[in-house]
Amino acid sequence: MRILLVYPQNPDTFWSFKHVLRFVSKRSTFPPLGLLTIAAMLPSDWQLKLVDLNVERLKDSDLRWADYVMISAMIIHKQSVHDIVARCAAFMKPVIAGGPLFTTGHEAFPSIQHFVLGEAEEVMPQLVADMSAGALQPQYSPTERPDIKQVPSPRWDLINFKHYVTMAVQFSRGCPYDCEFCDIIIMNGRVPRTKAPAQLIAELDALRLQGWKDMVFIVDDNFIGDKNRTKAFLRELIAWRERVQPSMGFFTEASVNLADDKELCELMVKAGFKKVFVGIETPSAEGLQECHKVQNSGRDLVEAVKTLQRVGLEVMGGFIIGFDSDRQDVFKQQFDFIQRSGVVTAMVGLLTALPQTKLYHRLKQEGRLVTDATGNNTEAVLNFKPKLSREFLQSGYRDLMKRLYEPKAYYQRIRTFLKHHRPSGPSLRLSPSDFKAFLKSFWLLGIWDSHRHSYWRFFWSTLLRRPAQLRYGIELAIIGYHFRRVASRL
């Protein structure tokens, strides 16, 4: 059996980091972990080929070769999926589709005959049997949440490491919180399920033995959803690090209450974690209450960010505008908070009603839904009727993004971060890609870019005042170039 696994093309958004790739001479930021994991569940004697459209073209010869085409996608991949499916239809190739896009919105793809809706582990044996028999069913849906301790290690052999900036692994699924706008609990439930520590260590060791030496993204939507299990894993990770001396570092996503647990923070840093993405959403107490973001409520969020920075973690922040409780000064509130906290990588988006979320159902009941979600929160688009003027929110959002990423404000935010950040934990190697990026930043940011004077002022002030942190500063300057490009086209 010949199986072609296809991952759609990422549009140019915050998360694509498209404009960083030219600095590091890579083609994509992350590999398609979902498809690599699905591939590991297929029979070992089947022939597999993975085509990631972010690193290579889908050729006609690939489609002629395949018996089945398997696609995994997120909501943001909708247009790319339509293009892929049209090409498969031209070659009369059956498509099996799974992932978040289809779990909550498969009805929008009448040309796809076969879907896996939800987590795939439970249904894979039946799916494989039906593929072998040529008797695929229209839909496969699990009856319960799988034990992810049974999930096999991803098929790393199907990708070329040199195309990617960062590798990706998963420790847990699910989040204990119940934010109104979030679809994680729809996909993975509210009870965190984790792999065994030794299981994930084995995956990391496989990456190490295949030559991976750089950053690894632990893709959990809330890495600390079950703190006790997370601590147990981190202790095993530290022991592994001391035993084999890997050069890789880590980053992940976590809720802001990470700042409340000193032991957990110290374990993460000692294990090699350098960054954490935190959903801050809004400094407005009313906004947090509205969206049921209880873990953020009743605390000094600026101080929480600085606590994490002081232990050695860079905080990347997610922010949302468009809550019903937002007032006319929402843009000033967000700008002031982001600048004061030193959240350099501030991913600000307009609120989106994602399919099947509590927000989606509330707005639908209120008759306020307008269009489907695109999955791209960096578009100045609202798919519902807001309480504030739509035009006010859209124009204010565009202005906020440009203001946040114009060089003066952005470099000042880096300075604030470097002031509070205390680098700790294992030192990471300066890879060839890092060295290339450092040199290219001189040309692209220091000579070619129209904001070169701001770059050189930042470069020299950092070199003179905080030379040990120059590497962090240049990395953030490069990332800022990407965000500035994204903001400029809003």
Residue type, position 209, single letter: L
CA distances from 49 to 5, 80, 107, 160, 365 (A): 6, 19, 28, 12, 44
pLDDT band at 377 (very low <50, low <70, confident <90, very high): low
| CA dihedral of 231, 236, 238, 241, whole degrees rounded to 10 | -150
Contacts of residue 329, Cβ cutoff 8 Å, sequence gap at least 6? none
Q: Mapping DSSP to helix (H, G, I), strand (E, B) and coil, where does residue 170 land?
A: coil
11-50 pLDDT tens trace: 988 778 888 898 988 999 999 999 999 999 999 999 999 9
Query: Token pair for residue 72?
Result: 């995994």
Share of the chain above pLDDT 90, in %: 90
Beta strands in 254-301 (DSSP E): 273-281
2-140 — its CATH code? 3.40.50.280
Which CATH homologous superfamily contains domain 166-420?
A: Aldolase class I (3.20.20.70)
**What is d(CA 296, CA 282) in angstroms, rounded to the nearest whole number?**
9
Query: Token pair for residue 42?
Result: 């297929």
| CA dihedral of 453, 455, 460, 463, whole degrees rounded to 10 | 180
For the full predicted model, state whether its pTM sits above 0.75. Answer: yes
Extents of the domains making up the chain: 2-140, 166-420, 432-488
**What is d(CA 190, CA 346) in angstroms, rounded to the nearest whole number?**
26
Short-list 32, 23, 25, CA closest to 54:
32
125-164 pLDDT tens trace: 999 999 999 999 999 999 999 999 999 999 999 999 999 9
Short-list 375, 467, 421, 378, CA closest to 102:
375
Short-list 176, 262, 167, CA closest to 219:
167
311-342 pLDDT tens trace: 999 999 999 999 999 999 999 999 999 999 99
Q: Given strand 2-7, what is the order of strands in its sheet?
A: 47-52, 2-7, 68-72, 95-98, 114-116, 139-140
